[in-house]
Amino acid sequence: MPTKPFHLAWFLQGSSVQAWGETWTGHIGQTWMKPELFLNVARALERACFDYILLEDSSYVGESFAGSTEIYLRNGIAVPRQDPSVVAALMTQVTSRIGIVPTFGTYAYHPYLLSRLVATLDQVSGGRIGWNAVTGSSDFAAMNFGMPGMPEHDLRYDMADEYMEVCNGLWDSWEPGAVIADRKSGVLIDPTKVHAVNYNGKHYKTRGPLNSGPAPQGRPVIAQAGGSPRGRKFAAAHADTIVVHVKGIEAMRAYRDDVHEHMIACGRKPSDCKVLYLINPILGDTMQDAQERKKRRAAIAMERIEERLAHFGKVTNIDFGKFDLDKPLPDDVTTNGHQQNLEQYRLMAKGRSIRETMASFNAVDLSVELCGTPDAVAARMGEVMQEVGGDGFLFSMPNVNRRTLAEIEDGLVPALQDRGLMRTAYEHKHFRDNLLAY
C-alpha cells in the first residue's frame, strides 16, 4: 500500500437541479433555488477531509440533440443553472478548511473582472478558493456573449496562456505586506507595494493594479482538465491540480507521465501539481448488494440513451440526434469542443453502434471500476494509486443526494482512513497548502 495518503475531491455537476427524476432526491424540482443541498455537500465533504469541491458550470441551454432545447429542458439536463460564484461564496461561509473551486470560462470574463472576482472569493473564504479555468467549448455559449462562435480549439488555449499572464500579473500587483493598517501613522496601504500592470498583449489589455486588494493565497489554486495534447500543455504550465478522465491503469499512468514531462519542460516540479482521476464508486453492504446496484444503474443508463447522448453532445458539440443510433458514429465526425471525450468514445466504440457504445460509455465507471463494500473499494483505490503513482481521485457522481453523501462520508472515507489512505484532519488553513501537504 502507498506510504502516504492521497487527495480526494468532488466534481459537483452544476449548481442547481441535482439528479432530477431519480430516487432519493426528494422535492428537488421545487427546492432547487435554495442552496441547502450544496451547503450540505460542503459540510459533509469537509467533515470527510476532502481537499476540494469543483463546481462545474455552463452558461447556455443545450440544443445539441436534434437541433432543439426540448430534451434538455424536459429532463433538466444542465439547466437551470445558477451562477457558480454565488454558490461558491455561500459554501465558503459554512466551512473553514475545504477548498471551493468554481468554474469560470475565459471567454465570458475579461481578465480584470475574473481576477477581481476570484481574489474577492479568496478573501471571503480565508484563502480557500480555486478557479477551474476553462476556455469554453460551445458555440451556443459563445453566442450568449456576442461572439459568432468559439475560436478554434488550439487557438483558445493560446489565448488562455495570455489570459493567465494577465491574471497572474494582476494578482501580483499587490506585494506581500502591502496592507499595513497602521493606526498610529494613519497609513492603510503602502503605496510602494502596489503596482500597475500595463499589460498590452495580442488578445488582452489591462492597466491594473487590482483595486480589490491582495488574495490571502497570493494566487488562487488553478484547476484544469486538459485532455487534448494542447490542453495538457496548458495544464502543465498553469494548473495546481488537474482533473483527468482516462480509462484504465495504463492510460492513467501514461497521462500522469506525459503531463509531468510537460511540467518539467516548463521549469515546474511535478510534485507542485496534483493529478486526480475521475471515479464513480458503487457501494453496498455486501459485494452482492453492490453488484445489484451496478446492474440497476446500467439498466437505467440503457433506458436513457437519448438523454445521455444529449448530455454527451452538449460537451462535444455533436448532434447525435442526426445519426442512426443503431449504426456506428461516422469516422469523419470531429469536434471543436472537448476532444478527449470524443477520443474516449471512439476507444470504447470499436465499431459498435452508437446505442451499444453509450450503453457502457461512462455509465457505471470512469477511470477504473469501483464496486463493492466500502472496505473493498477502499482497498482497490489504494491498489490503483500504487500502480498509477498518482495523487488521488475526483468523485464524479451525478446522482448527488444526501444518501450519496452519507455513503461516502460515513462508509468509504472511514475505510480509507483506517488504511492510512487519506487524512483525518486538515494540515493547514489555506487550500494550496493542504494540496501540497503530501
3-state secondary structure of 418: helix
Count of C-beta atoms within a 10 Å radius of residue 157: 23
3-state secondary structure of 194: strand
Q: Which three cell numbers stand for residue 372?
A: 463493492
User: Is 103 labelled a binding residue?
Assistant: yes
- DSSP letter at 129 equals B
Q: Do the strands 205-206 and 392-395 form a parallel or antiparallel pair, or are they unpaired? A: unpaired
3-state secondary structure of 259: helix
Contact (Cβ atoms closer than 8 angstroms) between residue 42 and residue 417: no
3-state secondary structure of 214: coil
Q: Which three cell numbers stand for residue 107?
A: 471567454
User: Is 228 labelled a binding residue?
Assistant: yes
Q: Which three cell numbers stand for residue 111?
A: 481578465
Taken in order 379, 384, 389, 395, the sign of the CA dihedral is: negative
Neighbouring residues of 192: CB distance < 8 A, sequence distance ≥ 6: none
Contact (Cβ atoms closer than 8 angstroms) between residue 64 and residue 313: yes
Q: In whole angstroms, what is the distance from residue 22 CA to residue 24 CA?
A: 7
Q: In whole angstroms, what is the distance from residue 196 CA to residue 173 CA?
A: 6
Q: In whole angstroms, what is the distance from residue 77 CA to residue 366 CA?
A: 20
Size of the chain, expressed as the number of residues it contains: 438
Q: In whole angstroms, what is the distance from residue 201 CA to residue 166 CA?
A: 9
Going by C-alpha positions, the residue among 19, 89, 10, 117 that lies closest to residue 56 is: 10
Going by C-alpha positions, the residue among 240, 222, 227 that lies closest to residue 122 is: 222
Taken in order 209, 87, 280, 308, the sign of the CA dihedral is: negative
Q: In whole angstroms, what is the distance from residue 360 CA to residue 173 CA?
A: 49
* Residue 228 identity (one-letter amino acid): S
Residue given cell 457502457 in the structure block: 360
* Residue 203 identity (one-letter amino acid): H
List for the chain the helix, strand, coil content (%; round to 5): 45, 15, 45
User: Is 57 labelled a binding residue?
Assistant: yes
Binding-site residues from annotation for FMN = 57, 103, 153, 157, 228
Binding-site residues from annotation = 57, 103, 153, 157, 228
